[in-house]
Amino acid sequence: MNMNQVSAVVTGGASGLGEATVREIVKQGGKATILDVQVEKGQDLAEELKGSVTFVETDVTDQTSVKQALNQAVSTYGSINTVVNCAGIGNAEKTYSKSRGPHKLENFSRVLEVNLLGSFNVVRLAAEKMSQNEANEEEERGVIINTASVAAFEGQIGQVAYSASKGGIVGMTLPLARDLSSFGIRVLTIAPGLVDTPLFAGLPEKARESLGKMTPFPQRLGYPKEYAMLAKSLIENPLMNGEVIRLDGAIRMQPK
């Protein structure tokens, strides 16, 4: 798919990986609709990139909220042919500890609800919209990129909920691609390593440097724009489908 033909929905697009992806899409001549709960940041970015970006306050776990957002995206730009799911949350909680007892079930459920169910909710509803698109010369009607994490493969101590949610995204990549192949819709997943997102913003510089040195090369935190660069490449390459791509500088996470 040519980037200047992209009409994207980017969840979590108001900051971090999503924001970088929105900026890359616009840079390449495409359009984007931001779906996020961060109203002020989303509105500010839409205003900055006015004409190419709109913002819709959206809870990805809510069917009605997502349907309304997708309808607005289609109304604004005529169609949706790209989805990049970056919305997500994390927590740090052991399965059991002497001081805190068993992992709170509601905390585990909430992480899965936002990260896994939320991603699938957007995918299933966006796929319906994409199926109505006119196919391009490659018989392609859409591209969907979900976001996992290296935690899906090497979850650390206290990451049981987060790792389960991201492992679910990895696991559904191929079935989604197979389910949607008859419509000409590709599905891919990016699994980032340690990337400099708002999650790390509050850490002291020494702590950030220490985390960066865990990566074999380059020995630093990743940049959100590097995620956006990969997303661009995946959108443009019609043979890329049903795959999970690690973007991690060769890091393999230790238990803690």
Known active-site residue 162: yes
Three-state SS sequence of the chain: CCHHHCEEEEECCCCHHHHHHHHHHHHCCCEEEEEECCHHHHHHHHHHCCCCEEEEECCCCCHHHHHHHHHHHHHHHCCCCEEEECCCCCCCCCCEECCCEECCHHHHHHHHHHHHHHHHHHHHHHHHHHCCCCCCCCCCCEEEEEECCHHHCCCCCCCHHHHHHHHHHHHHHHHHHHHHHHHCEEEEEEEECCECCHHHCCCCHHHHHHHHCCCCCCCCCECHHHHHHHHHHHHHCCCCCCCEEEECCCCCCCCC
Q: Which residue has the tokens 């997943």?
A: 189
* Catalytically annotated residue among 77, 162, 223, 227: 162
Q: What are phi and psi of 63, to 5 degrees?
A: -60, -45
- Which amino acid does the sequence have at 15? S
Buried-exposed string 28-53: b where 16+ CB fall within 10 A, e elsewhere? bebbbbbbbbbeebbbebbeebeebb
Known catalytic residues are 162
